[in-house]
Structure 1
């Protein structure tokens, strides 16, 4: 497999990693156990603030897709802060997405593609992951999307 430079790909996509966020409650943003890194749920942000709203109400599937993509970028920043070099990722194992949505909204999977597509684009083949996407009644701080990720590193 040819070497895939994650940082070069981020630059090509015009993505600048923000500084890693701080936890909003009694937890840490990531934990490494052996070669596995577990990233806590990251709330979608827009213009540096929590992206508030409910899918199927004030927000469209397209808005949710952009919010999920934004959450993925924050996950990359946290991961970079934890492991020092995103090129150490040997596999993105699992992504879990919580979508703040109305009871009749059924496009959580399309919202979550905002994160999944970017992860695969940035990490290449090792970015293809298992996934769950859930519609939930509410997310902390009223955020529209929360995403967590599990990765394997060398």
Structure 2
């Protein structure tokens, strides 16, 4: 990949939705967040394993927790508390800008996560922030952007 084809994070759009239909951009979001998938590998070694070598099998996959850092506003904090009070995961959508010369529309990641807002004790360059601590659940979806 050459430098001109690097996807700039500041052009990404991070949205949330209670139903996966009506989307709203997260205001003041400074970070882009897509959960990592961490597969579990189960030890399947037995006394009859070839060469007395360990054998592994794939187990469940866990999606890692992540934090979206946003500039504080009472409206954002209130909305995040409302989502937390629902006690169910909400939908997240991360739209990447198209790769120059490669795509007419960028890739999209989607996932569901529980929301837990907090206001960290440390400010960011003098600005009060709200951290949206997310605990994803289920699969992380990926839709490839449209080619030119």
Q: Give the alignment's TM-score, normalised by structure 2.
A: 0.29
Greater helix proportion = 1
User: As a proportion of its length, which structure holds more strand?
Assistant: 2
More relative contact order in 1 or in 2 (CA 8 Å, sep 6+)? 1
What TM-score, normalized by structure 1, do the two folds share?
Answer: 0.28
